[in-house]
Amino acid sequence: MTASRPLGRKFCRPLFWLSAVFCIMALNAPGHAADLISVPLDKARILHLPDRASTIVIGNPLIADLSIQPGGLAVITGKSYGETNFVVLDKAGIVLTEKTVEVTFPSGQAVVVYRGSDRETYTCTPDCSRMLTLGDSPDIFESTMKEITNRNSQSAAAGGSGGR
């Protein structure tokens, strides 16, 4: 039995170091998660800006947009799928914070239909209707966009004439 004890220790040493590495990785993971802001496509999130915030730089404004509001607030809107970042600076150009923004598929009752390589998306809240979604087939996307544009134009015209 004595001979097996040193042999067991040799096998335990790699496991000890492997578990130590995993513990260190686990301790570092929440710090990164706190720097990640997830925003669904076409949705907005409210952020509290740090005191002394003067300038905000968006890494890729095609993915997300950020608008400053009174009272130290900002609204970040998901514009396209992907990941970008934003940096908040004070008047002296000192970085106050930097966050990563991830724009994801909107949650909810969406149904994606594939016909070969063609794709179209429906929103099913409460009834299923076509939804304008990046990545849908060009024909589907264009026809949905045309319907939305026509509806918005008709709505604006009716609102401008007082509904007459």
Query: Residues 115, 99: one domain?
Result: no
- Residue 10: inside a domain: no
Q: Rounded to the nearest 10 degrees, how much is the dihedral formed by the CA atoms of 133, 136, 138, 142?
A: -30
User: What Cα–Cα distance (Å) separates residue 100 from each residue in 32, 42, 48, 55?
Assistant: 9, 17, 15, 17
Cβ atoms of 123 and 136 within 8 Å: the answer is no
pLDDT digits (tens, 9 = 90+) for 46-58: 999 988 898 999 9
Both tokens of 91, joined, read 């008047």
Instruction: Write out the residue range of the structural domain in which residue 50 sits.
Output: 36-104
Predicted structure pTM score: 0.62
Check whether residue 123 and residue 100 sit in a common domain: no
CATH of the domain at 70: 2.60.40.1080
Q: Give per-residue burial for 93-117: e unless 16+ CB within 10 Å, then b.
A: eeebeebebbbeebeeeeeeeeeee
Domain count across the chain: 2
3-class DSSP state of 82: strand
pLDDT tens column, 65-98: 999 888 889 999 999 999 999 999 999 999 999 9
Residue 52 lies in a domain: yes
d(CA 53, CA 45): 18
